[in-house]
Structure 1
Amino acid sequence: MHGPGDTRFFDWFAPLYDLVMPSAEAGRLATALDRASRPVERVVDIGGGSGRATLALDVPERVVFDLSAGMLARARRRGLDCVRGDARALPFADDSVDAVTVVDAFHHMPGQRTVVEEVYRVLAPGGVFAVREFNPETIRGRGLVLAERAIGFGSTFATPRDLTELLDGAGFDADVLDTGFEYTVVAKKRESH
């Protein structure tokens, strides 16, 4: 394990990250955010790293939230607002965020149930939590699981069904938007909670 959420590796890898990772799919993120039943003006991208997914969000206020100082330095150079911290203790007020995203990073977060509970707390009613993640049930996904274990990551991959059940269990209404090597789950916070 490289540290909480594999942080030390990403501090080291930050200069190369954007060279090897594809850009985020803006269309899939937009589709997920469209599921909100409130205007989406403030989005927090947890595990947002270098800001590659945050840049794809077309909203007035975008915040990159990550534990890796190296990755956040890259996001700041892109002109993005950044907050450093652990997703198990989000430093945002209750019901203060319209949407939360996590792209290709949820599997690196320890205490995933706690992360989900924190996201639920900070989301305003009618807001959405959009998760773009790798599917460990696919051939490429199984390969990624093995590769991350081989280099010592403490990753916990969830299938689309497992993630949906986790989100529903926390009080969200969750749906799988698409599947494949990567999949998208969007979870809406009920308007009366």
Structure 2
Amino acid sequence: MMPFNHLGWVFKYLGPLIYPHAIRESLCSFLKPLSRHAAVLDLGSGTGVMSEFAHACRADLQFSAVDPAAGMLKFSAAYIETHQAYAELLPFDDAGFEAVLIGEALHHFQDVDHSVEEIVRVLQQEGRLFIYDFDPTTFMGKNLCRIEKLFGEPGNFFPPEVLRQKLESHGFSVSVSHFGYRYTIAAQLR
């Protein structure tokens, strides 16, 4: 397993560099329909990079971040409420969030189906889900998947259409956007 607990400083300063401008624009578009002061959960947050990009778009939102590595969370911005936990067992009441963000983290979850069930539980009715990850059907995506597995990570990389079907089976309507070897999913609970 990658020693995430000791890599927070690396991800804090280098992590934002791997988020292309087009992904950040996609995130901003996703956030526009949220209500003022909406509660947003950054799941598998690491140092809170997704929350920081989201905050740049919508500073009025209320951000919570969940990551199992305390060494990552300690580098989160002061406006982010942090929680050390796993995606499979979220420490929140039902229907507490209007949106959930997952940036380059889904492939680290041990049990993706159970994590999606938890996401559905903590989302409000018609809640929204944004996922940014790598497409394992592309050359670069395959190589990133191999590297993750070499480091002992779960490497749960999904082709966009497979993830679409998985989310639809959990009650989401799903829109996929492709960005080379990366993709985003904007989903909403039906």
TM-score with structure 1 length normalisation?
A: 0.87
Root mean square deviation of aligned Cα: 1.7
| Alignment of 1:54 onto 2:51 | yes
What's the counterpart of residue 129 of structure 2?
Answer: 129
1:114 partner letter: H
Structure 2 counterparts to residues 103-114 of structure 1, below 5 A: 103-114=103-114
User: Using the alignment, how far apart are the partners of 1:146 and 1:187 within structure 2?
Assistant: 28
3-state SS of 1:53 partner: helix
3-state SS of 1:90 partner: coil
3-state SS of 1:91 partner: coil
User: Using the alignment, how far apart are the partners of 2:64 and 2:28 within structure 1?
Assistant: 16
| Alignment of 1:63 onto 2:57 | no
User: Using the alignment, how far apart are the partners of 1:154 and 1:26 within structure 2?
Assistant: 26
3-state SS of 2:145 partner: helix
| Alignment of 1:29 onto 2:27 | yes
User: Using the alignment, how far apart are the partners of 1:72 and 1:180 within structure 2?
Assistant: 30
1:182 partner letter: R
1:158 partner letter: F
Report the identity percentage: 27
Gaps of 5+ in 1: none
CA apart distance, 1:181: 1.3
| Alignment of 1:82 onto 2:78 | no
TM-score with structure 2 length normalisation?
A: 0.88
Gaps of 5+ in 2: none
Structure 2 counterparts to residues 131-170 of structure 1, below 5 A: 131-170=131-170
User: Using the alignment, how far apart are the partners of 1:109 and 1:129 within structure 2?
Assistant: 16
CA apart distance, 1:146: 1.3
1:20 corresponds to which of 10, 14, 17 = 14
Q: Deviations over 1:101-154 (max 9, x none)?
A: 000110000110011111111111121011101111111111101111222222
CA apart distance, 1:60: 2.2
CA apart distance, 1:19: 3.3
Instruction: Give yes or no for contact 2:62–2:80 (8 Å, CA) kept in 1.
Output: no
| Alignment of 1:72 onto 2:53 | no
Size of the aligned set, in residue pairs, is 181
1:10 corresponds to which of 1, 4, 16 = 4
